[in-house]
Amino acid sequence: MKIIRDIPEMGHVSCKWKRDAMTVALVPTMGALHAGHLALVQTAKAHADRVVMSIFVNPAQFGPREDLDRYPRDLERDADLARSAGIDCIYAPDPTDMYPPDFQTWIRVERVSQGLCGTSRPGHFQGVATVVAKLFNIVQPDFAVFGEKDYQQLLVIRRMVSDLHIPVRILSHPIVREPDGLAMSSRNQYLSDKERLSAASLFRSLTEAQHLFSSGERSAKRITEAVTNQILSHPYTTIDYIFLGDPNDLKPKDPLNDPSLLAVAAWVGKTRLIDNIILRLP
Amino acid sequence: MKIIRDIPEMGHVSCKWKRDAMTVALVPTMGALHAGHLALVQTAKAHADRVVMSIFVNPAQFGPREDLDRYPRDLERDADLARSAGIDCIYAPDPTDMYPPDFQTWIRVERVSQGLCGTSRPGHFQGVATVVAKLFNIVQPDFAVFGEKDYQQLLVIRRMVSDLHIPVRILSHPIVREPDGLAMSSRNQYLSDKERLSAASLFRSLTEAQHLFSSGERSAKRITEAVTNQILSHPYTTIDYIFLGDPNDLKPKDPLNDPSLLAVAAWVGKTRLIDNIILRLP
């Protein structure tokens, strides 16, 4: 497994594979790998002959008071995990190569970037869309795989790919969870033991919402109340947002249709966690 | 010569050429072809095995009070000219395929889009950058050729290509002029006979500025005065802007360095014309 840092070198490696009639899949990550990332790798391997994992903590998608400096970085550990998962190449560019001082081009996906995390994290999805387009142009993959935990991000990327006709097929993988239901996230390592117990309340609230929905509840207001109560009944928790609405265009709905998206963002101590579920009848 | 309107078909044709180890150049135009466009085609043919000309009057780069509806469209005449110039394929997409109702992704090149035409035509360069990125993704060219008359546009596109690592080499061609010096432009056909005479004042003002610069004048203020006087001494003329400054980052300078960019936009009657020259010592 190669670790590439240089932009042109990454292009050459990918080009060579394609000249040899091999397909390439990209798994974009910010490192701090966990089982969720490794599931993306398996999806990538199932579709393409060669798999590139990018590891890049993208400054452009962090707000000024967010955790850019604190975000866990351990390339050696990540490389070991990636190697065991059967990755062909890690692409870990340098931030100053990705954003030189005269950098000034941004991609903005307007409507699906609004609301939800777009409200709590202004500029976040512009940073995501821009870096993903850059990675696509550098790596030239046939496929790219994203996790469904970052549901709004997945919509933003699908919309960008479609609007700009980017020749990459976007694949997604369902959320991978810890035994108690907590969605895998690199940020889970910020949690103290006590906070970790409270963090499971997000998934519990989604399960409760699915129960209500299955028993015929269609009121977004009442489901929001149940989700709120479930999360706030645990210590250290604060709710950022609870969204209920259309899974395709992220428009809030009340009463709800089948299917509907329930997306939750909450703080547990100083750690912001997100989770989501598509509410649907069996 | 093929005329393609369908997005996937254009991709397939280009892919097939590349599979046969042929290089592809794109000449993006809005049609209403003139000798300036045909010079771009010759540059394209000198670099690539296959040449695609796109003909698309891009609504996204016109302001609400601009000439989108009036802009000359004559695909039959353009196809004849393109065929004679040795184009392999015209790509003429449908506006509703390029901008479906749920379209919402925009590319913004920040600094070099500001000032000059960016001030007179808000949103223009966002429309240009976005459509050029779309065309690049659809046609997948190795080269793309742009005219130097749209100097700021060329900088915007070079910047976008560099910032987003788009794997297309940008080529440019010097301004092609009428016998009296007027820069070739599809909009010249808007001019009445009398306005056409006045339109030559733009080039005359550039020539005068080059004379002053060559004789040692470095004051942007005095060169601006000379350019203004030259243009306004002709009937029907109004000045939109006169820019003197750095040819790379479009920062105004006074006194001027060698080389400097002089870029002019002026109205002749109801027609807005642009022209430019790099002032440099011999």
pLDDT tens, position by position, A14-41: 999 999 999 999 999 999 999 999 999 9
Closest chain A residue to B249, measured at CA: A102
pLDDT on residue B282: 84
Interval A117-133: pLDDT, tens: 999 999 999 999 999 99
B89-91 and B50-55 strand pairing: parallel
Q: B9-17 contacts: CB < 8 A, separation 24 or more?
A: B10/B52, B10/B89, B10/B91, B10/B93, B10/B138, B10/B139, B11/A167, B11/B138, B11/B139, B11/B140, B13/B89, B14/B52, B14/B139, B14/B140, B14/B141, B15/B140, B17/B49, B17/B50
Which of A7, A26, A102, A104 to probe the B interface (max B CBs under 10 A)?
Answer: A104
pLDDT on residue B15: 95
pLDDT on residue B198: 98
Q: Do B107 and A107 touch (CB under 8 A)?
A: yes
Confidence of residue A282 (pLDDT cuts 50, 70, 90): confident
Q: Do B110 and A106 touch (CB under 8 A)?
A: yes
Rg (CA), chain A: 19
**Alpha-carbon distance B109 to nearest alpha carbon in chain A (angstroms):** 4
Count CA atoms closer than 13 A to A68's CA, side-chain side: 14
Does ipTM surpass 0.90 in this model? yes
Interval B154-192: pLDDT, tens: 999 999 999 999 999 999 999 999 999 999 999 999 999
Does the predicted TM-score (pTM) go above 0.95?
A: yes
The domains found in chain A, sorted by start residue, are 2-173 (3.40.50.620), 186-277 (3.30.1300.10)
From the list B145, B273, B141, B282, the residue with the least C-alpha distance to B204 is: B273
Q: Do A166 and B109 touch (CB under 8 A)?
A: no
Confidence of residue B63 (pLDDT cuts 50, 70, 90): very high
Average pLDDT, chain B: 97
Work out the average pLDDT over B88-104.
98
Positions of B marked catalytic: 37
Average pLDDT, chain A: 97
Which residues of chain B does A249 touch, with a Cβ-Cβ cutoff of 8 Å?
102
pLDDT on residue B261: 98
Q: Do B108 and A106 touch (CB under 8 A)?
A: yes
Interval B186-214: pLDDT, tens: 999 999 999 999 999 999 999 999 999 99
Does residue B106 sit at the A interface (CB-CB below 8 Å)? yes
Does residue B32 sit at the A interface (CB-CB below 8 Å)? no
Interval A51-86: pLDDT, tens: 999 999 999 999 999 999 999 999 999 999 999 999
